[in-house]
Chain A
Amino acid sequence: MVEIPKDFIQKEENLIIKGNVAAAYAAKSARVQVISAYPITPQTTVVEKLSEFVDNGEMPGTQYIKVESEHSVLASIIGASKAGTRTFTATSGQGLFYMHEMVHWAAGARLPIVMAIASRGPAPPWNIWADFTDVLSQRDTGWLSAFCSSHQEIYDEILMSYKVCEDHEILLPKFVAYGGFILSHTSKPIIVEDQDKVDNFLPPLPDEDGWPHIWMDPKRPMMFGNLIMPSGFYQEFRLKIHDAHIRAKEKIIKAAQEFKQVFGRDYGNGLIQEYKMDDAEVGMIIYGDLALQMEDAVDYVREEGYKVGMVKLRHFRPFPTEDIIRVAKMIKLLGVVDRATAFGSQTGGPVSCEVKAALHETKNTAKILPIINGLGGREVTLEQQKNQLRKLVKFNETGEVPKDTIHGTLWDCLLEVK
């Protein structure tokens, strides 16, 4: 359950703001030096708030480029990051797809860019509502990716992301995704932290020499990104990106620990966050805003006498394979809820596929029930989530796969076609 921190009303800087505005405040707290953005629903209020900050002189020295397309957003951010500055941008759905070429480029150049994603469903038909297919479809680009389930988590995760991405042993870009409208456009109380505290938590802004591996400096003329023959180090560069992802797991864990020490808010081990899993017989792996409501569903179904639990997946890349294996060994049956699609894959859901792959060679592990719901922002009610848990309980008790699965996956609450 999300709770309003006890000291909330006592502090002046505490605000009741939209999720998008929380993302803008995080960029401000991180003292980003270059912002580039193009408006897209439901990300727009991020760029509006940042404009306000810059225009009012609240972000001194920050350059804000208002470009003509998302492709140029990321191209300009890449240029700015290469030259050794801390950068930020935000987008959604179609905007992210239009950036896709540059998404690969940013990771290949090992640039610690942080991008907020107010996730929305891909068209056609046009859809602007919560659906994580946008960020999950960037799976193999080399970006780290995190999901947020509350307004406060958007602010907090952006700060933690800069810490991990700018670590000289990582140097990778990162998506910080949250459900369009559900978090982007609703308002909740959040704590915007004291600037000194944030400054101490984050690494210092890049010095004059910029990043250790890439720079644009007339005093040190160097060429970056030129053609490399198949016999050259291309394959080795790719391995290094994978290595950095694996290494990022411990960095994410460390960042979450430090974050808890400094700011007092707990995000599990950073990669996943367990809820009432200790004595659970069945559990649910879930991510994004739906995880928040699922905590309530777990509480209600527990009141009915069933030992259910929940694992909030905080990171998709790097994938917390070890944590998933550990959790799956504790339990008999795991539901995996996707608010996204991976057509033609084993389960149809990107995260449930990933979970199944992680458990492939594990003995005595939980059975998996893939669930897909809430696509294109369709409402997922508390009652629906309670029923999902009850179905898990019944499946576990009877050993019978729920009758309403399609190709092995529970496509929950489909409309009836007449």
Chain B
Amino acid sequence: MVKLKEALESCQEEYFLPGNSCCAGCGLEIALRWAMKALGPKTALVTPASCLNVVVGLWPKTAPNFPFTNMAFAAGAAAATGMSAAFKAKAYRFPGRGWDEVTAITFAGDGGTADIGIQGLSGAAERNSDQIYVCYDNEAYMNTGIQRSSSTPHGAWTSTTTKGKDRFKKNLPAIMAAHDMPYVATCSISEPLDLYEKFKKAKSTKGCKYIHILAPCAPGWGFGSDETIEIARLAVKTGSWILYEVESGIMTLSKASRTLLDPSKRIPLIEYLSRQKRFASISEKDLIELQEYLDHTWKRIEVDLSCQDNYPK
């Protein structure tokens, strides 16, 4: 893994600039800032409807110091596919001018990914469209006022699940890994070096890459704006959010999650939940179900790790 000192030295350049209109303590801002540090300037980004459309600045102000285009909700992955195709067409017409080095990125929220955007994303993954698709997951439709998405966890309050969500969080990274993509990774904004390395790896891999980042939302989850990183770290340490990579079918647990295969190494789930107002009224039954679901998810990870086989290429 890259060392902190080394990363900080090579990460001086800022691409997502100050003066944007993110909320204080926004997880998305940290995710995009560090992703762009890894990706560098030869990056063109598409963002379907999400908080990111708004926080980048109202017209004509703009915080991203890289090519950025806003897109319709279901259209992220396809628009990035088109951009990537255009860069290839330009590389053919203007050889040696660096068009083949430009990476197309989709940067979408969990609603734009797991709900309305999943058809386009699945299509792009199956076509192996040359792009990095990034889901920054704040576990609800935060831009429209905290409505539930398929990525909202069980028991969480949202403005459309006022008694807590009955269903469990959709396991999107697993769905994407099932597409036999060249690269799937999960990240947390609490582990920026891990995130940095995963984006570097994705940029140097050809084909369609999927990176899913847990990006807590202070107003949506109900915690203080100075607690974002702590909350994200608790999600990892309780084992609620598992960091791993799947490279051509081979799964590897990332450092922060590696020891947590042993249940005794996971800190109690309640320490994560009790810090967030969205779980303030969670019932004992839901709490037990959440714990069981977490244990079950880890068992599945164990099974996946025990039968590793490279996809035929």
Contact = CB atoms under 8 A, between A and B. Distances in A.
Interface of A: 33-34, 36, 60-63, 65-69, 71-73, 75-85, 101-102, 105, 205, 208, 215-218, 220-229, 232-233
Interface in B80-116: 80-90, 92-94, 97-98, 102, 104
B25 interface: no
B309 interface: no
A220 to B, nearest CB: 8
Contacts of B119: 68-69, 71-72
Contact of B102 (A82, A218, A232): A218
A315 to B, nearest CB: 27
B86 A218 contact: no
Contact of A226 (B62, B86, B93, B104): B62
10 contacts: A33-B89, A34-B85, A36-B82, A61-B93, A72-B81, A72-B119, A205-B93, A216-B67, A218-B98, A226-B70
Nearest to B70: A225
A205 B85 CA distance: 16
Contacts of B104: 79
Chain A CB within 10 A, most for which of B56, B64, B89, B93:
B89
A73 to B, nearest CB: 8
Interface string B251-264: 00000000000000
Interface stretch (B41-49, B153-161, B185-193, B299-307): B41-49
A225 B69 contact: yes
Contact of B86 (A75, A79, A221): A79
B89 A68 contact: no
A225 B89 contact: no
B65 A67 contact: no
B72 A83 contact: no
Interface of B: 41-44, 46, 53-54, 56-59, 62, 64-72, 74-75, 77-90, 92-94, 97-98, 102, 104, 119-120, 122-123, 126-127, 129
A75 B83 contact: no
A79 B82 contact: yes
A61 B88 CA distance: 8
A53 to B, nearest CB: 15
A226 B46 contact: no
Given A217-B67, A218-B66, A223-B69, A83 B59 contact: no
Given A217-B67, A223-B69, A80 B58 contact: no
A216 B42 contact: no
B212 to A, nearest CB: 21
A141 B72 CA distance: 15
Given A76-B78, A222-B62, A232-B59, A63 B88 contact: yes
A224 B68 contact: yes
A216 to B, nearest CB: 4
Given A75-B120, A218-B41, A61 B89 contact: yes
Given A69-B119, A221-B66, A226 B56 contact: yes
